[in-house]
Structure 1
Amino acid sequence: MQQLSAQDASFVYLETPHTPMHIGSVAIYDPSTAPGGFVRFKDILGFIEARLRGARSFRQRLVRVPFDLDHPYWIEDPEFDIEYHVRHIALPKPGDWRQLCIQTARLHSRPMDLTKPLWEFTVVEGLDNIEGLPPGCFALVSKVHHAAIDGMSGVEMSAAVHSISPDTTPPEGDDPWKPENMPQVADLLARSYLNNLVQPMRVMETIGRSLPGMGKLAAQVGKGDVSVRNARPAPRTPFNGKVGAHRVWDAVPFPLKDVRAIKDAVPGATVNDVVLSIVGGAMRTYLQGRGELPKDTLTAMAPISVRGQGEKAALGNLVSAMVVGLGTQIEDPLERLRFVHDEAVNSKALTNAVGAKNLADYSQLMPSALAGLGARLYTRIGAANAHAPAYNCVVTNVPGSRVPLYFCGARMVGMYGTGPVFDGMGIIHPVYSYGDTIAISFTACRDVLPDPATYADALRSTFAALHQAATTRPAIAAPPIEVNDNKLPEKKKAATRSKGDR
């Protein structure tokens, strides 16, 4: 048995019938590279079953403590059945992109069974009419509960069922996995009693570790090195209220070389800054078209992995976060990118001052029973409609493989992401890079984004405007370095004056 951290358990407590808390992906494969040029569902079942040992999440199920007196536990599921977790459907003709988007949204909107291992793979056949793809492709729509993985640890799960060659030979050696018996209620209650006894010491330890960072942050704010402007609530938008039970999904891929060309137009900018600027421009375009664009900048929460080298295979979430302004108040695309870059630099400085790991550890102080009760009450009374949001959306970047990957011998030709939405945050943008492309996907509540194709077009037009500006206009110069002449030694003062006289 292994107990969930408070951060992992929070995703269990946040789960309601309208807010399933799973993340996932939509991978598309060309079966022409597989043995015989095709892939049967029977082949896929055998392929996955032979590789279950590659990730612990595959066969671990959740056991909750009575009345949520303590955080749940993972155990090796004694009733594991792979055919429950791997499903098979097909799109009706013509099998186009719009049909795949609708089917993905339907699959994603359904909550998972929390009494079984928290993952599902759905093979979707019939992708015969998608531009740029050969007929006969199939998709693998995955769902994994956020309590089990974060974006980075989910890479382990993906790596277990992918290879860098079409070879389908199963791994060598015996599978060492063994199921566990279900724990007794008395044992769970005894463990919760002992854990609650030591909780005050955990609180003091976490606070003690964060105090030096708090002092460092206060000093940096006092000197003006760091701004706390993003600590204020975000403006209200249609995306930030109570969400319904239905979802929409779409994804837009971009050439990675063009994204890098855009970032080079602003000194110091990163690929992440470009992605945030594209999202900001799309939200500006979409909300402006509805006449609902706020005057202040919208903000995005961007998760930060605090997973160390020795924690790559660890279950659950090891993440902190930063909040970045998206520059939605700025029309000029390159000026928006520079604004986003400055916001990201400032937000990283804020997070680094306290320590991303320390910020993540604060989640361990959350009382389990109160957390679950608070989440359910928040949803029931519709509290998200009564206060300003902490941020307007989520943008999470998951780096992918630069080399081709294969699943059951079929070559992956596209990789996109899905994510959860919840009351107060009705849209999330998972960003996946694969090969020479980077794709911005979005999952949203259908009530707040009834026209996903319009938003996808806004992403495309924003990217086009950014790319045109970056490649046709002079690069934005870096801000000049100010020299305080009073702090220079006499020899350097003379040299500075001498250069100025030339």
Structure 2
Amino acid sequence: MQQLSAMDASFVYLETPHTPMHIGSVGIYDPSTAPGGFVRFKDILQFIQSRLSGARSFRQRLVRVPFDLDHPYWIEDPEFDIEFHVRHIALPKPGDWRQLCIQVARLHSRPLDMTKPLWEFTIVEGLDNVEGLPPGCFALVSKVHHAAIDGMSGVEMSAAIHDLDPNMAPREGEPDTWRPENMPHVADLLVRSYFNSLAQPARVMETIGRSLPGMARLGSQVGKGDVSIRNARPAPRTRFNGKVSAHRVWDAVPFKLADIRAVKEAVPDATVNDVILAVVGGALRKYLLSKGELPRDTLTAMAPISVRGDGDKGALGNLVSAMVVGLGTTVEDPIERLRYVHEEAINSKAMTNAVGAKNLSDYSKLMPSALAGLGARLYTRVGAANAHSPVFNCVVTNVPGSRVPLYFSGARMVAMYGTGPIFDGMGLINTIYSYGQTIAISFTSDRDMMPDPAAYADALRETFAEMQAASTNLGAKPSAALPVNVGEAEPAAR
């Protein structure tokens, strides 16, 4: 039995029927590479069953302490049944990209069963009319609760079910020694919560003590003018910063990595991440201008930062901090917007480094569990998101993927996209997923906040096209256009 960290527990407390707190992915696979040239659903079930030992989250369920007097625990589920977690559906006709987007949004909007291990895989067939896909492709839509994984540990979970060749050779390593656990007694949980509460003051003092040098460094750098605290002010209110509904929209736009790298050369020392943030900023500018709702102040994005070290490999849950970056939505010129975002990112990283990213993530420990749970429930129930200025306007999170082809049950991955949670006050998340020589911007939003997701997807494409055109004086040559929804890895070296 393992207790959740304060940050992991916060995602449990934020869970409501309208705000399911899971993250996930949409992988598309070509079964022609599998042995025999096809993959049956029962083959997929057997394959996943054989890989369960590769990630602890597969067979661990949540146990909450009565009244949330302490943070929940993970136990090895005594009633684990893989067929509950792996489902099989087909797209309705015509089986095109739009139908896939609608189906992904529907699946993503449904909460996970919090009494089971917090993950779900849905195999989606019938993609034959999705542009650019080989015949017979299927999708794997995954959902894993944010309490169990962050973006980086999600990569480790993904690695458990993917191979570097289609032959599905047995994994070398320790045998599967998994054993189920009995449900803990309520009295045991209450006793544990009592003793943990006695240690809480010491944990608070330890966290504050570790953060003081960082706060002093930040104050010194602000005083010298090395760091600006302009992003510490509230963000402007937009349609994405109110109370969310139970309905979701989803879409994704791929870009060639070579084109992203060419554009970044327009601004000295700019990074691929800077280009992505500038694309998101430009798309939000276009989208909100079309609604007559563009604020006078720049929108901001929260960008999670992994603090997962080498010693944390395989650790459950979230080891992340965050920085807030201005998106330059007030800047019309695409290259000037990239320059603005680059400077904002440098400043935000300097602020985070001064305090210490790990220290920022530890601040979640300061809130007692019962108060954290009550606060999350009240925030949602009274619609508090509609009554205050947002801290940031959206999330832009980057998940690194493989540069070489991956195979699931022998089927070659041809594209990978991301999904993410939204909640009251934050109704738009952009998930950046790289695979091979492609980077895709996937986005999840509320259906009432973004009733026309195709318009935002078009704005992403148009913004990047403008950035490419503006950077051509540096000699950047755009690659051949990608199909609307497909990106592919380079063949593995032989």
Tell me the TM-score normalized by structure 2: 0.95
Match of 1:468 in 2: 469
Match of 2:373 in 1: 372
> Given that residues 265 and 474 in structure 2 are in contact (C-alpha distance below 8 angstroms), is that contact kept between their aligned partners in structure 1?
no
Q: For 1:247-266, what aligned pairs fall within 5 Å after superposition?
A: 247-266=248-267
Match of 2:88 in 1: 88
Cα distance in structure 2, aligned partners of 1:356 and 1:306: 7
Q: For 1:311-326, what aligned pairs fall within 5 Å after superposition?
A: 311-326=312-327
- Identity of paired residues, percent? 81
Tell me which amino acid in the other structure corresponds to 1:246. Answer: H
Local SS of the residue matching 2:152: coil
Q: For 1:199-210, what aligned pairs fall within 5 Å after superposition?
A: 199-210=200-211
Tell me which amino acid in the other structure corresponds to 2:9. Answer: A
Cα distance in structure 1, aligned partners of 2:475 and 2:127: 43
> Given that residues 60 and 75 in structure 2 are in contact (C-alpha distance below 8 angstroms), is that contact kept between their aligned partners in structure 1?
yes
Q: Deviations over 1:25-78 (max 9, x none)?
A: 000000110111110000000000000000000000000001100000000001
Q: Deviations over 1:225-256 (max 9, x none)?
A: 00000000000001110000000000000000
Match of 2:11 in 1: 11
Match of 1:170 in 2: 170
Q: For 1:350-365, what aligned pairs fall within 5 Å after superposition?
A: 350-365=351-366
Q: For 1:473-488, what aligned pairs fall within 5 Å after superposition?
A: none
Tell me which amino acid in the other structure corresponds to 1:30. Answer: D
Cα distance in structure 2, aligned partners of 1:312 and 1:283: 36
Match of 1:500 in 2: none
Q: CA deviation at 1:94?
A: 2.1
Q: CA deviation at 1:301?
A: 0.1
Match of 1:49 in 2: 49
Q: For 1:411-430, what aligned pairs fall within 5 Å after superposition?
A: 411-430=412-431
Unaligned ranges ≥5, structure 1: 476-502
Between stretches 425-434 and 167-176, larger displacement belongs to 167-176
Q: Are 1:193 and 2:194 counterparts? A: yes
Match of 1:128 in 2: 128
Q: CA deviation at 1:379?
A: 1.0
Q: Deviations over 1:259-310 (max 9, x none)?
A: 0001111001101100000000000000000000001100000000001111
> Given that residues 260 and 272 in structure 2 are in contact (C-alpha distance below 8 angstroms), is that contact kept between their aligned partners in structure 1?
yes
Q: CA deviation at 1:473?
A: 5.6
Local SS of the residue matching 1:140: strand
Cα distance in structure 2, aligned partners of 1:161 and 1:155: 10
Local SS of the residue matching 1:23: strand
The structure 1 segments of at least 4 consecutive aligned residues displaced by more than 4 Å after TM superposition are none
Q: For 1:55-134, what aligned pairs fall within 5 Å after superposition?
A: 55-134=55-134
Tell me which amino acid in the other structure corresponds to 1:281. Answer: G
Q: CA deviation at 1:474?
A: 8.3
Tell me which amino acid in the other structure corresponds to 1:451. Answer: D
Match of 1:442 in 2: 443
> Given that residues 249 and 453 in structure 2 are in contact (C-alpha distance below 8 angstroms), is that contact kept between their aligned partners in structure 1?
yes
Q: CA deviation at 1:381?
A: 1.1
> Given that residues 47 and 170 in structure 1 are in contact (C-alpha distance below 8 angstroms), is that contact kept between their aligned partners in structure 2?
no
Cα distance in structure 2, aligned partners of 1:236 and 1:276: 19
Q: CA deviation at 1:171?
A: 2.9
Unaligned ranges ≥5, structure 2: 477-494
> Given that residues 428 and 445 in structure 2 are in contact (C-alpha distance below 8 angstroms), is that contact kept between their aligned partners in structure 1?
yes
Q: Deviations over 1:447-466 (max 9, x none)?
A: 10000000000000001111
Tell me which amino acid in the other structure corresponds to 1:363. Answer: S
Q: CA deviation at 1:364?
A: 1.0
Aligned-CA RMSD value: 1.0
Match of 2:457 in 1: 456
Match of 1:494 in 2: none
Local SS of the residue matching 1:127: coil
Cα distance in structure 1, aligned partners of 2:252 and 2:54: 28
> Given that residues 51 and 170 in structure 1 are in contact (C-alpha distance below 8 angstroms), is that contact kept between their aligned partners in structure 2?
no
Task: Give the total of aligned pairs.
Answer: 475
> Given that residues 3 and 74 in structure 2 are in contact (C-alpha distance below 8 angstroms), is that contact kept between their aligned partners in structure 1?
yes
Q: CA deviation at 1:338?
A: 0.3
Tell me the TM-score normalized by structure 1: 0.94
Q: For 1:15-54, what aligned pairs fall within 5 Å after superposition?
A: 15-54=15-54
> Given that residues 91 and 99 in structure 1 are in contact (C-alpha distance below 8 angstroms), is that contact kept between their aligned partners in structure 2?
yes
Q: Are 1:150 and 2:134 counterparts? A: no
Local SS of the residue matching 2:140: strand
Q: CA deviation at 1:170?
A: 3.2
